[in-house]
Structure 1
Amino acid sequence: MEALIPNRSSPSTPATLAESVALQREVLANLLREPLALAAQACSRAWPSRAGLNTALTHALGALPACKYLYALDTRAIQLSDNISQSGPVEADYARDRSDRPYMNEAVPNEGFLLSQAYISLRARRPSLTAIQIVRDDDGHVLGFVGADFDLRDLPITARLYNEPTDWLQIKGDPAIRGAVFHQTRSDSQLDLNLDTVLGVMEELMTDRGVFHGKLHFSSSRATIWLVDDPYRYRLLDINALTDPDTCLIYPRHAYPDDAIVPRRKIRPVLDVLRALRFMDETFYLRAGSLNIFNGMVGLTFSCDGAHYLPWDAFLRKGYDFWASSTPVIGNTSN
């Protein structure tokens, strides 16, 4: 079961996660619609014989190599066949009542085919989905359904890797923290007391030592970094490492990546604004800030636990004055 995806580099490229999921589901539905319609036709000729349905479904399974189980249900969602798998019939679910399963509680469209929303399977506890096809007799009366279960990891790859949008995103944090924000004040951390050295070390690591993503945890005096040459593992730098410029020596020099979105000369200005936000107010202040040079996003987590993600250039355009005068935007303390 293979499919070619149209070139989505045009303006019609899905802009959101929901649109990308919808595209993926549309392609999967198109792959499954015809094989299940043929399976339903074959089952209608054998209905309601258990042996006949098993034979029809076994033949139909050849056109659905990614299918985990294929089965027939009556109009009450009682199973009339065995589960037909790639390794043969599984008798355990014969006569099973599937009426409470999520795919049987979605409305089947008029054309008779439904691709369910993804759900967690009862036995394997795996993300799964089920395709349902109505079975009709020669006069058009509904006899029941053919169901086809799929484990998501077995489905063919039908879409490109989703690209995260780079729009400004604000996320509310823990309501308990937001509610108590006016009862707290910022305390100087060891990182705060050594910020000149810390920012110098971080700038060196990101401009000349291959760090493409760095996050400063101001309140807990630590940093996490990811390196271009070892992107699958993060490094944790404690306050001792962050306040010792010799730390830079353990990371080999690395040319600044040509495909980085953030210009090399703009890393220090971003770090300087993070510094300013850390000290901007005794109640609303920055707890953690991050920068990724490849997707160009700055991440901010404030004392109210509210988080912001925005492009680096927008972050610099806003500057300190915007955040210092925008306590409601930062805090968003309404529950």
Structure 2
Amino acid sequence: MWIKQTIGEQRKVLTSLLEPPMLNLSKLCVSTWTDVNALDQLLNSQFTTVPHCHLIYVIDKMGKQISSNVRANQQIDMDFRGQDLSRRPYSVSLYPKRHFMLSSVYISNTTGRPCISAVQPIIDEQQFLGFLVADFDIAEIPVSMASSQTAPLVPKEIRTPSLTNQTTRLIQPRINSPLDQHIHEINEVLERLIKQYGIFHCTLHYSSAQVMLWHVYDPYQYRLFTIEQLFDSETIMNYPHSPYPPQAVLPQKNVRAVLDQFRTLRLADERIYLRSGSLNIMNGMVGLSFSTEGSQYLPVDVFLSKDLSFWFGQSVVNE
């Protein structure tokens, strides 16, 4: 799956970029291990040698922080000395590791943003002392998460025939897809991504069980996800937390209503059903493609005002 492959590729790039300076700095930490103030000054003077780092510190082998929090511009915060970091997401896999590692993505307690930590053991000859830890804001790491395998979809001809006039055509009955089976849970994930993580446009392809997402910080690229990928918490964490855009035409309260109406149009009938649905909160438009190959684009308020008889005819609703 391309998203996991891309994350793996990014981790390899980050490892090759960060491991050499982290290893060098860990060796320097040995000489100042017993002098906390000297350790702080060392981290401060060497801060810029670790590229794109926003926070660096040292912990002992039990997860207790020894040094201060050291940031850019010679910011040294001694209040964090002695704090217990043994329950941090990266700490559970530290001991007895003796080599460089990258944590999974987690939410930083200091910034509230998606973060990743690089961890380098500090070893004095054969004696294991602790770890050098550098934190990185995901949004500030200049490694694209976009997949080179993602290609634009070729648009089909757009038609807007009356759906009920198409029932004489040979229509393939709806077959439940993985998206259909988990449609409620997927709507919850999409609602969260739209309201809290900067997704402004989504397209759900129900038959192929794929979802396309566009982000406000990268509006010219889309990412294609399977159902399994959307259920992976690390997928969400790779999007920065973003407030709902104030310029969005669609009120935030109507996001879930649109997604639930998509679900209704998908599952209401076995012959005439939604093949794909798209929502753009910035212009307040929805796009609908049905099994009859009829496509329609209309404002959200019009879309939500229509009942099932509008789409399927009263005879279908009464069945």
TM-score by length of 2: 0.50
How far apart in 1 are the matches of 2:63 and 2:203? 53
Deviations 1:58-108 (A, max 9, x none): 122121241111111111111111011112211221111100100111246
Q: Is 1:27–1:158's contact at 8 Å kept on the other side of the alignment?
A: no
Task: Please tell me the residue identity of whatever aligns with 1:172.
Answer: L
Cα distance between partner residues in 1 of 2:289 and 2:94: 42
Offset, 1:160 = 5.6
1:96 is aligned to 2:116: no
Instruction: State the partner residue of 2:115.
Output: 128
Instruction: Provide the C-alpha distance between the structure 2 equivalents of 1:299 and 1:27, rounded to a whole number of angstroms.
Output: 40
Which residue of 1 is the match for residue 23 of structure 2? 37
C-alpha distance in structure 2 between counterparts of 1:148 and 1:57, whole Å = 10
Aligned partner letter, 1:46: T
CA distances 1:231-258 after superposition (whole Å, capped 9, x unpaired): 899999xxxxxxxxxxxxxxxxxxxxxx
* Residue matched to 2:178: 171
Whole-Å separation in 2 of the counterparts to 1:81 and 1:150: 18
CA distance in 1, matches of 2:276, 2:183: 21
Structure 2: tracts of 5 or more residues without a match: 154-175, 186-201, 206-218, 222-246, 251-264, 279-286, 292-319
Amino acid across the alignment from 2:93:
E
Q: Which amino acid in the other structure matches residue 8 of structure 2?
A: A
Instruction: Give the counterpart letter for 1:119 in structure 2.
Output: Y
Distance, in Å, in 2 between the alignment partners of 1:163 and 1:109 is: 38
Q: Secondary structure at the match of 1:173?
A: helix
Match of residue 83, structure 1, among 63, 69, 83: 69
- Give the aligned residue type for 2:276: G
Counterparts of residues 221-300 of structure 1 (less than 5 Å): 282-283=269-270, 285-289=272-276
Q: From the superposition, tell whether residues 21 and 214 of structure 1 become closer, same or farther in structure 2 (CA, over 3 Å).
A: closer
- 1:215–1:62 CA distance, 2 compared to 1 (3 A): closer
Regions of 4+ moved over 6 Å: 213-216, 230-236, 298-302
Indicate the residue corresponding to 2:48 in structure 1: 62
- Evaluate the alpha carbon distance shift between residue 282 and residue 64 of structure 1 in structure 2; reply closer, same or farther with a 3 A threshold: closer
How big is the alpha-carbon RMSD for the aligned residues of Structure 1 and Structure 2? 4.2
* Distance across 1 between alignment mates of 2:12 and 2:152: 25
- SS of 2:40's partner is helix
**Larger Rg computed on CA atoms:** 1
CA contact 1:108–1:114 (8 Å) conserved in 2:
no
For structure 1, the residue ranges without an aligned partner over 5 or more in a row are 1-14, 179-212, 217-229, 237-277, 292-297, 303-335
Give the % identical residues.
Answer: 23
The TM-score with structure 1 as length reference comes to 0.48
Deviation string 1:20-63 (CA, Å, 9 cap, x unpaired) is 11001100111000111011101111113111211221122121
Of 130, 137, 142, the residue aligned with 2:128 is 142
Given residue 3 of structure 2, which amino acid in structure 1 is its aligned partner? L
Aligned partners of 1:73 and 1:147 also within 8 Å: yes
Q: Distance in 2 between matches of 1:96 and 1:152?
A: 24
- Structure 1 residues 231, 166: closer, same or farther in 2, change over 3 A? closer
Q: Residue by residue, what CA displacement relative to the aligned partner does 1:206-254 show, whole Å, maximum 9, x if unpaired? A: xxxxxxx9999xxxxxxxxxxxxx9899999xxxxxxxxxxxxxxxxxx
**CA distance 1:73–1:161, change in 2 (3 Å):** same
